[in-house]
Amino acid sequence: MLESQVAETTTHVAEPTRRDFLYIATGAAAVVGGATLVWPFVQSLAPDAATVAAGAPVEVDLTPIAEGQIVKVFWRGKLIFIRHRTAEEIKAAEDVNVASLRDPQPDSARVKEGKVQWLIVYGNCTHLGCVPLGQQGEYHGWFCPCHGSIFDTSGRVRGGPAPINLPIPPYTFASDTKIVIGQEATA
């Protein structure tokens, strides 16, 4: 008789009870709740988007920039001017008597060799940080309307209170039509 009871209990499949459902539902709710509580702590370990963007180099396609045009981009929260200079602008910048400049620097020191048509400079006046207007002023470079600083087509200070030329950011040419701002050329 004992054998028949064992055979009977092993072949019989018990139906899930309401208690089984409650155990599974409670366990699932605990897992979801735990994950919901842990997720913000895991996310806080990752750097925020501003930090990631602050140090990342910026690639700029030069193809759509027409000759004579100035394009503004931002890198590390700072304004950068990319100027596609015309042959006349290049000649005017190269023909300057460097000794007569407040911050003497030849045009060749401000552009990459073989890419003299491209001038890349920070876009803030070196006097008080205003944004100068492009293709303005006596030298058709930049003119700062706030205090009257004048820069030529090479970004060199030619008049007004600005003490130094527009600085050159670190950049390299990735190809003939693409620059990477924030990265120097590796030897």
CATH number at 71 reads 2.102.10.10
pLDDT at 5 over 80: no
pLDDT given at position 138: 86
Same domain for 57 and 74, yes or no, is yes
Same domain for 22 and 38, yes or no, is yes
pTM for this model (two decimals): 0.70
Same domain for 168 and 94, yes or no, is yes
Long-range pairs of 32-35 with CB within 8 A, sequence gap ≥ 24: none
Query: Considering the domain boundaries, does residue 7 fall inside one?
Result: no
Query: Considering the domain boundaries, does residue 2 fall inside one?
Result: no
Q: Which strands sit side by side in the sheet containing 178-181, from one edge to the other?
A: 58-61, 178-181, 171-175
Same domain for 70 and 42, yes or no, is no
Domain containing 39: what range? 15-46
Q: How confident is residue 10, by pLDDT bands cut at 50, 70 and 90? A: low
Same domain for 116 and 146, yes or no, is yes
Same domain for 126 and 164, yes or no, is yes
Q: Which of 47-61, 73-87, 161-175 has the least mean pLDDT?
A: 47-61
State how many domains the chain has.
Answer: 2
What pLDDT digit, counting tens, does each position of 12-56 carry?
667 888 888 888 999 999 999 999 999 888 888 877 776 666 667
Query: Considering the domain boundaries, does residue 1 fall inside one?
Result: no
Same domain for 36 and 57, yes or no, is no
Q: How far, in Å, CA of 80 to CA of 64, rounded?
A: 17
pLDDT given at position 116: 92
Q: Are 174 and 58 in contact (CB under 8 A)?
A: no
What pLDDT digit, counting tens, does each position of 98-140 carry?
999 989 999 999 999 989 999 999 998 888 888 888 888 888 8
Query: Considering the domain boundaries, does residue 8 fall inside one?
Result: no
pLDDT given at position 91: 93
Query: Considering the domain boundaries, does residue 151 fall inside one?
Result: yes
Q: Comparing 43 with 2, which gets the higher pLDDT?
A: 43
Q: Which of 12, 84, 127, 147 is an active site residue?
A: 147
Q: Which of 159, 52, 124 is nearest to 151 (CA)?
A: 159
Arithmetic mean of pLDDT over the chain:
85
Active site residue 147: yes
Q: Which of 154, 131, 153 is nearest to 144 (CA)?
A: 131
Longest dimension (CA), the chain: 118
Query: Considering the domain boundaries, does residue 163 fall inside one?
Result: yes
Q: Are 93 and 146 in contact (CB under 8 A)?
A: no
Q: Comparing 58 with 184, which gets the higher pLDDT?
A: 58
Same domain for 92 and 30, yes or no, is no
Q: What is the mean pLDDT of residues 63-92?
A: 91
